[in-house]
Amino acid sequence: MDTTQRTDQQRSADRRRRELLEAADRVVLRDGPQASMNAIAAEAGITKPILYRHFGDKSGLYAALAKRHTDALLDSLRAALDAPADRRERVEATLDTYLAAIEARPQVYRFLMHPTEGGHTADQGFDIGKHSMPLLRTMGEELATVIEERLDLGPGSQQLARVWGHGIVGMMHAAGDWWLGERPCSRAELVRSLADLLWGRLAAAGDKMGGPGF
């Protein structure tokens, strides 16, 4: 098999994988954590063994969907962090971007973060932490990098930036999960309240770049 044939086959396989993930997305949007491999295979117009051949099992499909949605969310968070605005506005924009994402697609969020809500016997033993925790860690490291680049934190800045990065992501995740389930206030109110919580030492730190900062 020559290089051209291998490239064409890879492109075809990549296109088919995207089509299957799009079918899975449609089912997850409809069914949330109850989305099953049978329903996804039916939506894609294939048999379940073919779906397993592409992803292995539900864990493999979950990991692929998680990467798809997390990559998109990280792109949006980076854009919010880099927007031309003062620090408070950037903080609020970042919080709002995360909350808006989970609000817009709550079924996808629940599938990714609460897969066991479906209660399927076949899903028992599914390890959410195997996939969801690395996603949160990735977001924490991304935010830590931005904090270290933008703020003058003095001695031990790298460690402090990582503490803040992971702490803020943990706060966003926990508060967002609670808010999505109970809706005790508007998204704007939650954003303001979380920004107020952060507005202590973060507001007092000097800027490295001389601009509006993080």
Phi first, then psi, for residue 127 (nearest 5°) are -95, 95
pLDDT of residue 116: 63
- Reported pTM: 0.76
- Is the pLDDT at 78 greater than 90? The verdict is no
pLDDT of residue 123: 46
Where along the chain do its domains lie? Answer: 63-207
The C-alpha angle with vertex 123 and arms to 121 and 124, in degrees rounded to 5, equals 70
Q: How confident is the model at residue 201 (pLDDT cuts 50, 70, 90)?
A: low
CA 24/CA 169 separation, integer angstroms: 27
pLDDT of residue 132: 61
What SS3 state is found at 124?
coil
Measuring CA to CA, how many Å separate 179 from each of 34, 74, 159, 196, 207?
Answer: 21, 21, 30, 17, 32
Instruction: Tell me the per-residue pLDDT of 97-141, one tens digit each, with 9 for 90 and over.
Output: 999 999 998 988 888 887 665 544 344 444 555 556 677 888 899
Smallest CA-to-CA distance from 180 within 132, 121, 108, 131 is with 108
Two tokens at 188? 């704007």
What is the identity of the amino acid at 146? V
Are the C-beta atoms of 132 and 170 separated by less than 8 Å?
no
Task: Provide the angle, in degrees to the nearest 10, between the axes of the packed helices 128-150 and 106-113.
Answer: 110
Buried b (16+ CB within 10 A) or exposed e, 148-179: bebbebeeeeeebbbebbbebbeebbebbeeb
Quick one: DSSP state of residue 206? Answer: E
Q: What is the mean pLDDT of residues 63-76?
A: 84
pLDDT of residue 152: 85
pLDDT of residue 55: 86
Q: What is the CATH number of domain 63-207?
A: 1.10.357.10
What integer best gives the mean pLDDT of the chain?
A: 83
pLDDT of residue 126: 45
pLDDT of residue 124: 43
CA 70/CA 141 separation, integer angstroms: 13
Least confident of 23-27, 34-38, 111-115: 111-115
Q: In 10 A of CB 199, how many CB atoms?
A: 13
CA 162/CA 109 separation, integer angstroms: 25
Instruction: Tell me the per-residue pLDDT of 141-156, one tens digit each, with 9 for 90 and over.
Output: 988 988 888 888 889 9
Are the C-beta atoms of 179 and 54 separated by less than 8 Å?
no
Q: Where are any strands of DSSP class E within 48-203?
A: 151-152
pLDDT of residue 120: 46
pLDDT of residue 131: 55
pLDDT of residue 214: 63
- Is the pLDDT at 174 greater than 90? The verdict is yes
What residues does 206 pair with on adjacent strands? 152
Place of tokens 């609000």: 103
The percentage of the chain sitting over the pLDDT mark of 90, rounded to a whole number, equals 32
